[in-house]
Amino acid sequence: MSQVLEIVQFGMGGVGRALFGLIVQHKAAIRSKLGVELRYRALVDSTSVLRLEQDAALSHQHLLHLWNGLKPAVRERLSRQPGATTKPSDSAVLAHELERLKSEDSGANLVVVDVSGAAAEEMIPVITAALSQGHRAVLANKRPLCGSLHDYKQMVEAAGFGLSRLRYETTVGAALPVISTLRNLANSFDLIEEISGTFSGTLGYLTTRLEEGSLYSEAVAEAKLAGYTEPDPRDDLGGVDVARKALILARTLGYQLELSDVKVTSLYPAYMQEMSLPEFMTRLTDLDKIYLSRSQEAAATGETLRYVATVKEGHCRVGLEQVLKDSQIGRLKGTDNIVVFKTQRYHNQPLVVQGPGAGQELTASGVLADILSFVR
C-alpha cells in the first residue's frame, strides 16, 4: 500500500508552477517506483486558494486539465480556475486544511510546501503551526529561515529532533546538495572551519564579464536583458539575497545571528537606491571607472573579482573580493554557483559543491526531492 503525502502548496509563481507540473506529470511513476502517493490538497497564491477535494486530487485527468491552465506557457491566474476562492490569511488556509484532514481521519501526512516569496512574518506562523502538529514542511522560500532569531528558533524547535520534519535544500544553490552536505559534515562531527562561495548566478555573470573587460554598466545591462537579474537589478546588486543564503548556512551551523548581523557590501552606492529604475540604469556609467580600476588591480596580481559570501568563526560577510584566478572560486565562470567547505577533515583540499544555482525547473526538482525524502 502506498504511503500518502498530502500537499498544501503556497506559491504559484515560476517555481510553484514548475513543481506542480513535475508532480502531475510524474505522479504515477512516483507511486509505482517509490510507493508514494502525492496528493494536492490546496494550491495557494497571493490572492486565491484552490482546494482540491479527494476525488479531484486523485483524478489524473483533472490535474492535467488544471496544469494546462497553470503551466508557465499559459500562466492563467489561480483565481480563474474553477473552484478557486479569495484567500483569507495563509494561517487561516492552513488551519482549514488541518481541520479538514483531521475530520477525514485518513492517517495521511501533510506537507506544507513554501515556494512563495512571502515575507517571514507571513509564513513562519504557517510553517510552525504545521510542524508543531507533527506535519512536515519544505521550503524554497528563504525568508522564513531569515526571520527574527526568536521566530526562527521556535520554527526549528517545532521541526523535531535534527529538523526531521523540515527540509530547505533549495534555499541555497537551487537543487545543488549544499544544505545536505553541510548537515552531513556536521552530523559526522567534522569541524567546519569556513564556508565560502559565490551564491548568485547574476553576480557570477557580472564579475565574469568584468574579468573579460566589459564595463560595469554594460555588464549589468547585458545581465538584465538576458533575464539574469530581477526586474530591478538593485535587488541583485545590493547583495541582500546572497546575505540571506549565507545566514541560512550560518544558522544551520548553529550561529546565533540576525540578518542585520551579516556584513553586506553593495555593488552600488546608497544614494542610487532612491533613483527611478531608468535613472539608475543610466547612471550606472558613473561606476564604470571604479570597477574597471578594481578589475585591473586584481588582474595585475594574478587575481580576479568575485562576489563572495563567507561564513566563519561565528560571523558572516558578503561582498566583492579579490581572489586568486586559479582558486576554486576564481576559476568559476558565468552563472554557476560554488560552495567551498573547509573543515578539519577537508582542510588542505576543501570539499566543493558546484553547478547551476538557479532555474525554475532545477529548483522545482530539488523541492520534489525534499518532499520525497520524508519517505526514504
Indicate which residues carry an active-site annotation: 245
HEC-encoded secondary structure of 29-92 = HHHHHHCEEEEEEEEECCCEEEECCHHHHHCHHHHHHHHHHHCCCCCCCHHHCCCCEECCCHHH
Cα separation, 360 vs 331, in Å, equals: 25
Cα 137 to chain centroid distance, Å, stands at 14
Asked whether 307 and 178 are in contact (CB, 8 A), the reply is no
Asked whether 310 and 196 are in contact (CB, 8 A), the reply is yes
Report the phi/psi class of residue 353: left, alpha or beta, with left for phi > 0 and alpha for psi in -120 to 50: beta
Q: Minimal CA–CA distance to 208: which of 130, 102, 305?
A: 305
Cα separation, 360 vs 301, in Å, equals: 38
Q: Residues with Cβ < 8 Å from 349, sequence gap 6 or more?
A: none
Backbone angles phi, psi at 319, to 5 degrees: 170, 175
Q: Note the helical H segments in the chain.
A: 14-34, 54-58, 60-70, 90-104, 120-132, 149-158, 178-187, 201-211, 216-225, 234-237, 240-253, 277-283, 288-300, 328-331, 360-372
For 181-218, b/e burial (b = at least 16 CB within 10 A) is bbeebeeeebebeebbbbbbbbbbbbbbbbbeebbbbe
DSSP state of 334: T
Cell 517571514, residue located: 120
